[in-house]
Amino acid sequence: MPLLAGKAVGISRPIMGVVARRRGFWESRPLVYVACSPREAAAIASLRPKHWAAALVADNLQFPPHSSIPCIYEVPESELAHLAEGDIVCLDPTGDIALLYKAGNPHNSLLATNRCNCLCVMCPQRPGEDPPGLMDNNLKLLELMDPQRTPALGITGGEPTLLGEDLIRLLTACRRKLPKAMLTLLTNGRRFKDLEFARQVVKAGYPQLFMEIPLFADNDTQHDAVMGAKGSFYDTLEGLHNLALLGQPVGLRTVLHTLTVGRLVPYAEFIYRNLPFVLQVAFMGMETVGLARDNLEKLWIDPYEYRWELAAAVRYLARRLVPVSIYNHQLCLLPEEVWPFARQSITTWKQMYLPVCDGCKVRERCGGLFGTGERYSAFVKPVT
């Protein structure tokens, strides 16, 4: 999520709270008051209700830090303007402000863990150790979410299944707090080769849970090379079949780069013949951050160069009634016949368009590009 920053006063430890932009916004949750006008700034000194946790003050205001309420001031007004009531932020003693949750947004997620049992060559999230209290913070964040304004929630990592019993605890909390939200668990699926563990996870997330699992090739050699883990191909297949046995809805994903684009049609054939129970197959453009950036010279291929192979694989699955999607691709790089399968999949705060996209007649339908990336196709152009 995006980071904001300012100068902190009265903050000795991180503070998590719900954004409020008016004093009448009263709930039983800790509130973070946002002030962008002189009147709002003046009101901070009189904030007394026990649920006011902190305040944020824009840089266009003369605000001496005299209030007893913890505060971060001199925050760029243009950035504060994007905060809406119901959003959840975490204020750090350094003056950093992390936006953890955007009310009403379909792209909210929980980072379950940084740890992983694979080392995918293009992973945008580098594996690492978890900060202290990550599980407790996730549970607290869940409690602050508005169930009426949370249509969907992702659970990601790292590899969430490494949490073991804590993953079951987290899913149970999601089901209790967000009974109407669609839960999507992003997992490599390897631990689901343990049927009993798979059974417990499915039971904890039922009925809202959907799983997205990567399968990078139709053979063990290529899949394991991408995953950076020997044996992962067969672990994943066994896990997928266990989930099918339990009636768990599952989708497949593959990320497109030099190690995966050479066999897209055989890949589609393998799925159709061996995994007929999957509810979706997604072909994903690569986000060039994290390990993908480290391995970019080995992995990079311009999406324009594999457009016909991608179209053939999509056509193969679609003609056999297998639901298929294309993620993270620009319409100008795809044959027009597969435009109906392209989704606006890039997380809102990462999405951007190049200057050359101005004037494109299909821009509103196009998913754009990753603003976090550092390499883009040389063939991006406006559709006229």
CATH numbers and ranges of domains, the chain: 3-101 (3.50.30.10), 109-370 (3.20.20.70)
92 close to 8: Cβ distance less than 8 angstroms:
yes
**What distance in Å separates the CA atoms of residue 188 and residue 177, rounded to the nearest whole number?**
26
pLDDT of residue 3: 83
Instruction: Classify residue 68 as exposed, middle or buried by CB count within 10 Å of its CB (0-12, 13-18, 19+).
Output: exposed
- Quote the DSSP letter at residue 131: P
**What distance in Å separates the CA atoms of residue 1 and residue 102, rounded to the nearest whole number?**
9
**Paired residues of 289 in beta bridges:** none
pLDDT of residue 37: 86
**What distance in Å separates the CA atoms of residue 264 and residue 270, rounded to the nearest whole number?**
10
Q: What is the pLDDT along the chain (384 residues), one digit of tens a residue?
A: 668 999 999 999 999 999 998 766 656 788 999 998 888 887 777 776 667 889 999 998 877 666 678 999 999 999 998 899 999 999 999 999 999 999 999 999 999 999 999 999 999 999 999 999 999 999 999 999 999 999 999 999 999 999 999 999 999 999 999 999 999 999 999 999 999 999 999 999 999 999 999 999 999 999 999 999 999 999 999 999 999 999 999 999 999 999 999 999 999 999 999 999 999 999 999 999 999 999 999 999 999 999 999 999 999 999 999 999 999 999 999 999 999 999 999 998 899 999 999 999 999 999 999 999 889 999 999 999
pTM summary value = 0.94
**What distance in Å separates the CA atoms of residue 24 and residue 3, rounded to the nearest whole number?**
27
pLDDT of residue 43: 77
pLDDT of residue 1: 65
pLDDT of residue 62: 78
Closest CA to 254 of 245, 263, 246: 263
**What distance in Å separates the CA atoms of residue 116 and residue 197, rounded to the nearest whole number?**
17
Closest CA to 76 of 87, 94, 61, 63: 61
106 close to 35: Cβ distance less than 8 angstroms:
no
pLDDT of residue 253: 98
**What distance in Å separates the CA atoms of residue 85 and residue 102, rounded to the nearest whole number?**
9
For 372, phi then psi, to 5°, come to -85, -10
Q: Cis omega (within 30 of 0) on the bond before 158?
A: yes
The distance between the two most distant Cα atoms of the chain, rounded to a whole number of Å, is 69
